[in-house]
Each structure stands twice: as structure tokens, then as C-alpha cells.
Structure 1
Amino acid sequence: MIKKNFVLLILLLMVGKLHAQSKTIDLWKGQVPGAIIYSSYQQSVDSADNWVKMRFVTDPTLVMYQAPAEKANGTAVIICPGGGYWGLAVSHEGEQVAQWLNSLGVTAFVLNYRLPNDSIMVDKSIAPLQDGQEAIRTVRRRATEWGIDPYKIGIMGFSAGGHLASSVSTHYNEEVYDLVDNTSARPDFSLLIYPVISMDEHITHAGSKSNLLGENPSPEQVNRFSNELQVSSDTPPAFLVHSMDDGAVPVQNSIGYALALEKHQVRSELHIYQSGGHGYGMGRSKNTESSWPEACSKWLESSGFLSVESEIIKSVSEYQK
């Protein structure tokens, strides 16, 4: 018990250290759409099952990691950690990813989005999408203040976070809450790492599906949130990663999305690795799946997202003073 508590303390201190280098933004400023007040529902962070996870999110936040002024290129990425729409893997699919993006000159935002639950929301199926749309709009509204090019804002998701990222990429025009202005929620690109894409029972992740849509969703709900069916010519370009031996989220999720993008003549790049399983974050072995960050950085560079093209990034140094 002492050893377990010590490990938890170290993990929480690590998370605290990372957050000390960041800025937390209240996404809805106390006006969360469709919220139901339930006092027993309290946010928590723990390390059970060997992963640091956040649960019971009631007030979504963006945790901002500003790119170093000497490297900043004006690009921003909103990161959606995975966790089966049950928890948020805030360490290996959140803060660690943000630090890597900072090394590329990209300003990163970890989105602590609401996890679907009938106790605290009127319609749990759209709550994560509401948070994802508002995250894009928030960063775009404040782009000048934060030294970000409003046309270089991407979204990134791991596992169930990949479902959220692909949902924002395909449902960005869907009005799921009352808008205060006409700021676009369309990402300029998406990075999808072993993502849940489909709600099709043959290839979906059953836990993510039931947590988002309930045990007996209608065919209309299944189709609506099967994002490979929602791709259009206006869907943003995507970089995808998956492993053939993924036993949690079948590789067909990424393949189906990539084929849908190809059908609509949207640029995409899909990397399928022979091994790796699921949930490896930035990489946890010497095998090929751990090389995806290098491939991703090359895709970002070749797509023009790592180049300095806008005068707007000059405000970065002012923000950091």
C-alpha cells in the first residue's frame, strides 16, 4: 500500500510539474451547454491500471502549452486523450504529446472534455462534440493573442479521443449548442492515432460506443457517429496511425476513414504497423510503431504546417513575457 501511494504521489507530482508550465482555460466559463447539476459527480485523477487518467469531468478545460518563442511557427493542435469515453489518458496521450508538439514549434492544447454520462448532461452523445467544437472556436477566436495562425489549427486524437477528433472534423458545421458568433469550428487538419472512427458493431470499440450512445442506439445514431460515413470534400486532411495487431480498436477504423477521404479527394496519409497493439502513445518499444512521431512531423512539414508564414507569431514573445 505504501509503495502504491508513493507511485501515485510521483505521478501526480509529474502531472503537476507539467501543468506548472501550462495555462488552463475554462472552456465554457461556467455556462456548459446541456449540463445537469449533480453534486456527487466530482472530477478526479488516479493511476489505477498503470495509466494516469482523469475522470468525471464536469467543467471542460483547455490546458495550453505555448510553443517556445524561438521555435514557434504559428500552428496549434488541440489534443483529445483517449480512454474509451470513460477516462482521459492525460499523461501519455496528453501532456507528453504536448511537449513533443512544442519541440516542433507547435502550440498545444490538451482538451479535458466531458465523458458521456446521463447524470450530468441532457444528451450525452453530443457533449464531447460540443466541447471539441468550442475548443476549436476558442483557439481561433484568441489566435492573435496567442501567436497562432487561425488557418493552421489542427485537432489530434488517440483511441476514443480519435473518435472525438474525427467527429469534430466531420461534424464541425453541425449546430449542437447555441453559438455566440460565426467563428468556424472546422479544424485545418487532423492527426488520428489508433482512432475509434466507426460505430459499426463489427469494427467499433464496444466500450466507446456504449459509453457514447448507450446500450441500444438507433440505426440513425450509429450512422451519425460512424465518421467514415460523414466524410465530404470539405473534411480536413488527415494523418492516421494504426497497428495491425490492435486488439482493442480494429485497424479497419483507420482504413475506412482513409478510403472515405480518398473517395472525396481529401489528402490523407495512413501508416499501418505490423505490431504495437493499442494505447502506446508516443511509443513504448523499439519496434516500428514507435516511429510514428517522426512520420507525423514529416507530414506536418510537407503540408506546410511547420513553416513560418505569418506575422502573427510575433505576439508569442509578448505573451510569454
Structure 2
Amino acid sequence: MTEKLLWMHGAPYALGNADEDCPAITPYLVEGDNRPAVIVCPGGGYGTRAYHEGEPIAQWLNGLGISAFVLRYRVAPYQYPCALLDVQRAIRTVRFKAEQFRINSDQIGVLGFSAGGHLVSNAGTSYDKGNKEAEDVIEQVSCRPDLLVLCYPVITLQGPFAHEGSRDNLLGKGAELAQAEQLSSELNVTEDTPPTFIWHTSDDAAVPVENSLLFAAALSKHKVLFDLHVYAKGRHGLGLADDEEHTRSWTDACASWLAFQDFK
């Protein structure tokens, strides 16, 4: 697959021009026109991006008839707002180039694992309709996703349920409490937050399940439709969970939910 840079002349705040300085999407396209699409954000604590939460997920989505784009977003030493700018740019780019990619510009979701789930939840609670005055035509396009899929996500950056590694990589050690609160996604949900699918395991020892519960409660409060699936056991970072007889059913549940959202 051939990756496509999100900014041809350098990303905002870029520190160089190596691959890790240059956000990109790798398309995994299915046959047909007007297909739904999902942008995939692998996890890795904002310090790396896990391969098994990237390409294999795109290929699974392809099997559902959904085109996918794996996002190479910036991680440490890059800090906020770089990763958020990257996923917003990815949504704008895919939407702007919908005809080229043969996708439906009104069916663009984002899916993320762990810290990638935090990035996705931020994308779903912090977006705009585009800057119509921008010289860059891609920046004129909305970056609101049409749905969210959160897989054992980091959600809160404060209190006992925060994943400290993700927070430190995103904000720097000793980050101000106000900034951690600002980027705790459960506090930013509104009635306009996109419909969301969430799954987690109850004994996740790295990212407590309360992260997903907090986000689900916020969605419920604002009457946003969501699916929440909590499995009894399973280590953090399962990805497709192929080797977990019970937990691997998350893919069936998610496929059903995506079809319910007309992503099929």
C-alpha cells in the first residue's frame, strides 16, 4: 500500500522531514463506488503505534466492505496538539478526496485503540466545519467524523483512572491539571458527538475499564446513541483478539453495529 502525506509542504510544528515528522494515511480501498470509510488510529501510549492495531484492522474492515485508512500520527517527542491536528487533517483529506477514493463523504468514521482511542474520542469531541477562508482547500472541509469506534480507549487524563504514560507523552511530565482536564474526553461530549461503539475488558490492568464507562455515561447524559461491550477478561492491547475465544466476538458486535449505521 502506498502512503499519502497529509501535508505536502510540512505539517504544523514539524521538527524535521523524516517519516515520524510527516503524518500520512495508508489507504486500503475496497471495490465499488460510494463506499463507507474508517480511519484507523493504532494505540501505543502516544509513544509509538502498534502494527497489529493498524493494517490487520484495515483488512478486517475491508472484509466488511468498508474502505480503511491507517493513520501515521505523530507521537512523542511530539506533544499536543500535533496528533489531534493529524487526525483532523486525515478526516478532512479523506472527505475532500472522497471521489478519488470512491467513498461516501458523509460516511467517514474513526477507530482507535488505547491511546489511539483517546485520539479518536478527541476527534469526536473537538472538531470544526472547516475554515472557509483558508487558502488550503483541504482546511475548508469539515473534520467532524460520522461515527467513532473506541477499543479499550484511554479517555480521562485526570484522577485515578488516567493512563499516566499516555498523559505524559501527550502533555509532558508535570502537565498542568487544567490541560489534563481540557483533554479528558468524557468532559467534552455534547449532543452533537457522533454515535459511538465502545469495547473494553473488565480486568484491563493498563487502562482501567472506567475510562470506557466514563465516556459511555457522558454519551448517555447527552442522549448520543452508543454500543458498550465490556468483556470479563482480557489483557490490554488485544487488537482483533483472535486468540481469545470470548473477547474476539467484539469484531462481530462491531460489524453488526457498523451495519446498523449503514456502514456496509
| TM-score bin (small chain) | over 0.9
| Alpha-carbon separation, structure 2, partners of 1:249 and 1:133 | 24
Equivalent residue number for residue 69 of structure 2:
109
Q: Verify: 1:248 aligned to 2:212, yes or no.
A: no
* Contact 2:38–2:68 (CA under 8 A) maintained in structure 1: yes
| Alpha-carbon separation, structure 1, partners of 2:34 and 2:254 | 16
Equivalent residue number for residue 91 of structure 2:
136
Deviations 1:75-125 (A, max 9, x none): 0000000011111112x10000000000111000000101031xxx5xx21
Equivalent residue number for residue 7 of structure 2:
28
Equivalent residue number for residue 58 of structure 1:
21
Secondary structure class of the residue paired with 2:3: strand
Larger radius of gyration: 1
Equivalent residue number for residue 31 of structure 2:
68
Secondary structure class of the residue paired with 2:194: coil
Equivalent residue number for residue 245 of structure 2:
287
Please state how far the C-alpha of 1:73 moved relative to its aligned partner: 5.9
TM-score relative to the length of structure 1: 0.77
Q: Verify: 1:238 aligned to 2:196, yes or no.
A: yes
| Alpha-carbon separation, structure 2, partners of 1:248 and 1:173 | 32
Secondary structure class of the residue paired with 1:84: coil
Q: Verify: 1:216 aligned to 2:174, yes or no.
A: yes
| Alpha-carbon separation, structure 1, partners of 2:102 and 2:63 | 16
Equivalent residue number for residue 161 of structure 2:
203
| Alpha-carbon separation, structure 2, partners of 1:212 and 1:131 | 14
Secondary structure class of the residue paired with 2:208: coil
Please state how far the C-alpha of 1:262 moved relative to its aligned partner: 0.7
| Alpha-carbon separation, structure 2, partners of 1:245 and 1:68 | 40
Correspondences of 1:1-321 after superposition (within 5 Å): 22-37=1-16, 43=19, 57-69=20-32, 74-90=35-51, 92-117=52-77, 124-173=79-128, 179=134, 180=136, 181-306=139-264
| Alpha-carbon separation, structure 2, partners of 1:279 and 1:80 | 13
Deviations 1:137-175 (A, max 9, x none): 000000011111111000000001001111111111399
* Contact 2:129–2:141 (CA under 8 A) maintained in structure 1: no
> Considering only aligned residues, what root-mean-square deviation do their CA atoms show, in Å?
1.9
Q: What letter corresponds to residue 64 of structure 2 in structure 1? A: L
Equivalent residue number for residue 310 of structure 1:
none
| Alpha-carbon separation, structure 2, partners of 1:210 and 1:158 | 18
Unmatched tracts of structure 2, length 5 or more: none
* Contact 2:200–2:231 (CA under 8 A) maintained in structure 1: yes
* Contact 2:111–2:120 (CA under 8 A) maintained in structure 1: yes
Q: Which runs of 4+ in 1 moved over 2 A?
A: 173-176, 178-182, 284-287
Moved more, 140-149 or 72-81: 72-81
Question: What number of residue pairs does the alignment pair up?
Answer: 260
| Alpha-carbon separation, structure 1, partners of 2:181 and 2:224 | 21
Equivalent residue number for residue 16 of structure 1:
none
| Alpha-carbon separation, structure 2, partners of 1:88 and 1:65 | 18
* Contact 2:73–2:87 (CA under 8 A) maintained in structure 1: yes
Deviations 1:167-222 (A, max 9, x none): 1111113999x953421000000000000011013101110010001111112201
| Alpha-carbon separation, structure 2, partners of 1:225 and 1:132 | 15
Unmatched tracts of structure 1, length 5 or more: 1-21, 44-56, 307-321
Q: What letter corresponds to residue 26 of structure 1 in structure 2? A: L
Equivalent residue number for residue 14 of structure 1:
none
| Alpha-carbon separation, structure 1, partners of 2:117 and 2:145 | 13
Please state how far the C-alpha of 1:253 moved relative to its aligned partner: 0.5
| Alpha-carbon separation, structure 2, partners of 1:300 and 1:215 | 38
Secondary structure class of the residue paired with 1:198: coil
TM-score relative to the length of structure 2: 0.94
